[in-house]
Amino acid sequence: MEQNQNNWLHTNWILTEGAQRVYIELKFTLRDCNSLPGGVGTCKETFNMYYYETDGDDEEMEEGEMRDGVGITEEEDRAMKESRYIKVDTIAADESFTELDLGDRVMKLNTEVRDLGPLSRKGFYLAFQDLGACIALVSVRVFYKRCPFLVKSLAEFPDTIPGSEASQLVEVAGHCINNSMPLYEPPRMHCSADGEWLVPIGNCEDEYHKMDSDPPNMACTRPPSAPRNAMSNVNETSVFLEWSIPMETGGRKDVRYNILCSRVLPDGRGLEECGPNVRFLPRRVGLSNTSVMVADLQSHTNYSFLLEAVNGVSEMAKDYTKQYVTLNVTTNQAAPSPVSVVRKGYTGKSSIGLSWAEPDRPNGIILEYEIKYFEKEQDSSYTIIKSKETEMVVEGLKASSVYIFQVRARTSAGYGAFSRRFEFQTSPYLTATSERAQASIIAVAITLALVLLAVVAGFLLSGRRCGYSKAKQDPEEEKMHFHNGHIKFPGVRTYIDPLTYEDPNQAVHEFAQEIDVSFISIERIIGAGEFGEVCCGPLRLPGKREIQVAIKTLKAGYTEQQRRDFLWEASIMGQFNHPNIIRLEGV
C-alpha cells in the first residue's frame, strides 16, 4: 500500500428543500489492516466526512469561469475545494472483514448515521476523505425528517419541517375541517425535531353549518343541546310538560321543540308510539314555547316522552346525534290533596305572615308549595310565589287592603289543586297616638271581660252556698232554689251550668239550635285562638233574610278536651238573650 494516501470523493449539489437539519446514512465495508500484507504503518481503518454549503451549483459556476478564460491548475482547484469543506466526523467501522471472510463470501456491512445542521443555504455538497483505508462505500442516503400531514380532533395540521435545533418544538396552527368550528381556542400542535407531533392545544367541534338564507357575515352555527329542567304535571289522563331552553342554542335564535310520545307495553319490555287519538296542545312538533299539554292518554298507563330541541341547521347535520331529554310518567297518578287551612300570623302595613299544614293526603314527598295571591276584586292580576316550608311572609302589599290567598302543594306527580280562598287584610297606616288609643281600647276590653267572668263566678259560688246553708237564709232568699247546679230566680230565666252534663253534646242540643253546614259560607278569617279560629261569612236560613255572622271553628288536630270546652262554651252562649250580649244563632 502506498504511503501518504489522500483520496477524496464528493457528491453532486444536494438541494435542502427548506430543511434546516439533514441526516446522512452511510453503508460501507472496511478491511482489517492486519489482514493486508505490508499494511502496517500505512493502513487506516477510518475515513472522514465533510460538507460544504452553497446557494447554487459550484460546478456550473466553475465551468463558466473556464469559458471566460480564467483558468486554474488541477492542484489549485483541488486545494481550493478542500479548504471550503467543514468536517462532520471521522467514521469508524464497528466490524471489519478479513481474507477469510472473503473466501467465505461473508460481507460485514456497517451502517452509520450523522446529522448536519443548522443549515442556512439552499443546498450543500458532501465529501469523503480516505487516508489509506481499504474501504468500499456501498450507499449514501441523505434525508430530513418532517411532521406529516395530520387530522386530529377535527383539526388539520399541514406537513411541517422541524426546526434546526434537536430540542426545538415548532408550534403549528391547525385548521378545523369542513363543518366544524374551534372550541374555546384555535387548535395548535408542536412539531419535534424527530418528526413527531406533540403537545396538542385546543380542538374543534363538528356539525357547524350555514343556511342559504343566513346573512353572509353570520358565523357558522350548529344544532342545539338538549332541553333542560324538564318537568311533568299529571292530571288524570292529561300531562302538562314544561322545560327550559337548552344550555347551547348553537348560535341561532330559531330553536324549536319536538315531542315524541311512546306508550310502555304492559310487560315493560318495549315501547310503541302513541296513537293518533292523543292530542298535543298547541302541537307536537315545531313548538316555539317551552310547554305543551298532552291530552286523551290512556288511564293507569306508563308513558315516555322525548323532548328534542332543533334549529335551522339540524337537518343539515347528517352525523348529528339528537339531543333530547326523557320524561316518564304514569297517568292517573295521585297529586297532593288541597291544603285545608291557611292561617294568618304577623300582619304589617305591607306584609302578611302565612302558615299552613301539609295536605291531609300528600301522596308522596312534598317538594314545594305554590302561593297565589291577589287584591280582592282584582283576581285577573295575581302573583305566584313558591316556598319549601309551610310558612312564609308575603311582602310588598298595600296597607289597609284585603288580599285573597290560595296555596297548593307539589310532589313528583305534579301540583295538587289550590286551596279554597282565604281573605286577609293588611294593617292600616297608624300614628303613634292612634296606636296608643288602640292599645287602651284593648286593655279596657280585657278588663271588662275579666269583670264579667268574676261576676258570673260570684253568682255560681253564691248559689252553691245557698244550697248548703239554709239556716242562714233570709225570707227572700228562701225564694231561690238550688238543685244540681241550677239557680232559679223568681221571674228570671234559669241558668244551667253545662258542666253538670256528662256529655257536652246533650247540653248543646238543649240550649242551642243545630244549623246545617250548607247554610253557612266562610269568606275570611278575622281572628285565631289557641285551638280555634273566628271567621266571617253569611248565614242563609230557610225563610229568613241573609245575615253576616261570626263563625267560630276548631283547628285541625284538636284534642278531646278542646272539643268539650268548645261545646260547653256554645252551651253557655246559648242561654243568653240580651241586646248587650252576642247572640248565638246555632251550632
DSSP-derived secondary structure for 114-159: EEE----SSEEEEEEEESSB-EEEEEEEEE---BPPEEETTEEE--
Tell which CATH classification among 2.60.120.260, 2.40.50.140, 2.60.40.10, 3.20.20.70 matches the domain 7-143: 2.60.120.260
Tell me whether the omega of the peptide bond preceding residue 282 falls within 30 degrees of 0, making it cis: yes
Domain boundaries of the chain, sorted by first residue = 7-143, 150-205, 228-330, 342-425, 497-587
Tell whether 552 is in a known binding site. Answer: yes
Please state, in angstroms and as integers, the Cα–Cα distance from residue 426 to each residue in 73, 385, 394, 404, 529, following that order: 122, 18, 11, 11, 19
3-state SS class at 29: strand
126: exposed, middle or buried (Cβ count in 10 Å: 0-12, 13-18, 19+): buried
Question: How far is 310 from 260, CA to CA, in rounded Å?
Answer: 13
What pLDDT does residue 448 have?
42
Residue 371, exposed/middle/buried by CB under 10 A (0-12, 13-18, 19+)? buried
Euclidean distance between CA atoms 42 and 310, whole angstroms: 87
What does the pLDDT read at residue 62?
54
- What is the CATH superfamily name and number for domain 150-205? ephrin a2 ectodomain (2.60.40.1770)
Write phi, then psi, for 80 (nearest 5 degrees): -65, -40
Other CB atoms within 10 A of residue 92 CB: 14
Question: Which CATH superfamily, name and number, covers 342-425?
Answer: Immunoglobulins (2.60.40.10)
Question: pLDDT tens per residue, the chain (587 residues)?
Answer: 577 788 899 899 999 988 889 999 999 999 888 887 766 677 888 999 999 999 987 655 454 444 444 556 666 667 667 788 999 999 999 988 887 777 667 778 999 999 988 888 999 999 999 988 888 999 999 999 999 999 887 889 999 988 878 778 889 999 888 767 777 788 999 999 888 999 888 888 776 767 777 777 777 777 888 899 999 988 877 899 999 988 887 778 788 899 999 999 887 778 989 988 899 999 999 898 999 999 888 877 899 999 998 887 777 766 666 778 999 998 876 678 899 999 998 888 899 999 999 998 787 789 999 999 999 988 888 999 999 999 999 999 999 999 999 999 998 777 888 999 999 999 886 544 344 434 433 433 443 444 455 544 544 444 444 343 333 344 444 344 444 444 444 445 677 777 777 777 777 777 777 787 778 878 777 777 666 778 888 888 887 788 888 888 876 667 777 777 878 788 788 777 777 777 788 88
H helical segments located in 427-559 = 432-468, 504-511
CATH superfamily of 497-587: Phosphorylase Kinase; domain 1 (3.30.200.20)
Region for 485 from its dihedrals, namely left if φ exceeds 0, alpha if ψ lies in -120 to 50, beta otherwise: left
Domains 150-205 and 497-587 share a fold: no
What cell was used for 104?
Answer: 467465505
C-alpha 448: how far from chain center: 63
Please give the pLDDT value at position 73: 64
Query: What's the predicted TM-score (pTM) here?
Result: 0.38
Any idea how long the chain is?
A: 587
CATH topology of domain 228-330: Immunoglobulin-like (2.60.40)
